[in-house]
């Protein structure tokens, strides 16, 4: 092989070596950053769980009333025909005399 051929083979080798090492360094950095981010996220979740538990204990009566209110069924509104013909309903037609 000539000296020029060796140089043309050596330059891509150096390029790919640099590119591969850069990939490895960035991958390791990403793994470390991800590890710290997951730890931070777990700390935040723990703090939020503690706050929610504290709030649940503090507002226990209000939450119980809310659950009780959700359990009671709400009556459906009457259709228009029943409202018009119902003497107990207060509508525009309730005082009209039907002949």
Per-residue confidence at 80, pLDDT binned at 50, 70, 90?
Answer: confident
Residue 22, pLDDT score = 98
Q: How many CB atoms within 10 Å of residue 85? A: 13
Report the C-alpha gap between 25 and 18 in whole angstroms.
10
Domain spans of the chain, in order of start? 3-85
Can you list the positions of beta strands (E) in the chain? none
pLDDT in tens, 22-75: 999 999 999 999 999 999 999 999 999 999 999 989 999 998 998 988 888 877
pLDDT in tens, 43-52: 999 999 999 9
Report the C-alpha gap between 45 and 65 in whole angstroms.
27
| pTM, full prediction | 0.51
Q: Are the CB atoms for 19 and 11 separated by under 8 Å?
A: no
Report the C-alpha gap between 23 and 19 in whole angstroms.
6
Helix locations, 59-79, DSSP H: 60-71
Residue 84, pLDDT score = 67
């Amino acid at each position: 092989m000539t000296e020029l051929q060796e140089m043309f083979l050596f330059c891509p080798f150096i390029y790919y070596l640099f590119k591969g090492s850069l990939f490895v360094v960035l991958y390791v950095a990403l793994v470390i950053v991800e590890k710290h981010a997951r730890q931070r996220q777990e700390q935040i979740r723990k703090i939020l769980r503690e706050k929610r538990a504290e709030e649940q204990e503090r507002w226990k009566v209000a939450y119980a009333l809310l659950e009780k209110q959700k359990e009671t069924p709400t009556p459906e509104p009457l259709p228009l025909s029943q409202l018009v013909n119902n003497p107990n309903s207060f509508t525009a037609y309730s005082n009209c005399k039907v002949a």
